[in-house]
Structure 1
Amino acid sequence: MSKKESIELSFQDFYKNIKDIDFLKEGWRGKIFVGYIDEKKVAIKVAKFPYLVNNIKKEAEVLRKVNKKNIGPKILLEGSDFFVMEFIDGIPFKKILDESNTISDVFFDILYQAYELDRMKISKNEMHKPYNNAILCEKENKVVLIDFESSQFTEKPKNVTQFVSFLLSFLKTKGKIYPKEEKIAIEIMRNYKRDYSDESFKEILKFLKDFS
């Protein structure tokens, strides 16, 4: 089925094209199913109610944009009240977090993607709680950010600052950072929020690499 044909279909009409479909989970605005299309495992996000269709369309729009920067699961098809994306299989960030004492390459992978989102003026609005919406794909050795349901286009994105705040809390629980260092980090983030520049971001990287 071509992308053009799928755009004209509702999930109810498209349902028959999905093999071994199964319910996965439910969010604030959509329900997610998994299944197979042409032998490929996919995830399907469907609007929970008709009045939430525009929210699902907006999430699909965000995914199309971030996909251009190799961020997020690849969107494959879009219908009138749903979209289909590749299924991301891997290790949830929460599990990696539970087994970590310092900041590893996985953390920096997420941070770089957060910066790319900031540059695109897209705020994911969930980078302060990335436990289950960042997946490490071991085969590709890459973290994939998932669930862009709360994302918005804005001149003041918060991805980097939210994630760095999360990292500071993580380091504090591990006894790796103290009030003096935390104060420095807060000032560095304030500088970053003023201009979102490469130089400001490099200062954040420089600070965090002391804890890797």
Structure 2
Amino acid sequence: MIIFEKKGTKIRYDIIEKIGEGNRGEVYKAKLEDGRVAAIKWAKNYEIDKEWEILSFLDGLCAPKPIYRGKRYFIMEYVDGKPLKEYIGSSEYYEVLKKALHNAYVLDEKGVFHGQLGRYYHILNTAREVKFIDFERGVFTQNPRNFLQILGYYLFRDEKYDKKALNLIVDLYKKNRKEALNKIIRLIDES
């Protein structure tokens, strides 16, 4: 059991397994002493302040719920889901993609730009919802482009969809996000 103490708060947990590693951090699955399963992200060479601030702002909306922050790490909700990549070619793929587009719209409305939603493994489908992970390059901005990023990366590359129709949705999104979201959902449903 590992114990961390900060300002009178003690966090006790056991590492279950390493679940990911990138250039800037490592992520572990852990069991907290209260029985919850959580994820712990250790920063190798970046400041975690911005990522923690974004997760705290979202508070579990479309992203893992934050639990505890240390100096070079933080503990967050463990998202038990499958990455979007595992759905490609399946009957569930477009349903998961619709949920991801909806959540991207929500992030855009909140002014949070993830920046890396073109990576399949940052989009996880759980039993109840889609969540985005890994906000280390995320930023607050007045002009987020999460929805457009997903549209461009996944649907523009999909031979099933007419590029002119998708471009019209891109133009519409710049004027009326909600209407564009509804239009792309209808387009996917009709295909």
Q: TM-score range by the shorter chain?
A: 0.7 to 0.9
SS at match of 1:171: coil
2 CA distance for matches of 1:168 and 1:190? 15
**Considering only aligned residues, what root-mean-square deviation do their CA atoms show, in Å?**
2.5
* 1:43 aligned onto 2:30: no
Q: Which is higher, the Rg of structure 1 or of structure 2?
A: 1
Amino acid at match of 1:90: G
TM-score relative to the length of structure 1: 0.76
* 1:158 aligned onto 2:145: yes
Tell me how far 1:117 sits from its aligned partner.
0.3
2 CA distance for matches of 1:46 and 1:192? 36
SS at match of 1:35: strand
CA contact (8 A) 2:156 2:166 kept: no
Q: Structure 1 stretches (4+) deviating beyond 4 angstroms?
A: none
Amino acid at match of 1:46: W
Structure 2 counterparts to residues 146-185 of structure 1, below 5 A: 146-172=133-159, 176-177=160-161, 181-185=162-166
CA contact (8 A) 2:18 2:27 kept: yes
Structure ranking higher in helix proportion: 1
CA contact (8 A) 1:7 1:78 kept: no
CA contact (8 A) 2:117 2:123 kept: no
| Count of aligned pairs between the two proteins | 186
TM-score relative to the length of structure 2: 0.84
2 CA distance for matches of 1:197 and 1:184? 16
1:116 counterpart residue number: 106
- Select the residue among 88, 95, 99 that pairs with 1:97: 88
CA contact (8 A) 2:87 2:93 kept: no
Deviation track 1:188-210 (CA, whole Å, cap 9, x = no partner) reads 202312x3532333333333332
Unaligned residue ranges in structure 1 (runs of 5+) = none
Unaligned residue ranges in structure 2 (runs of 5+) = none
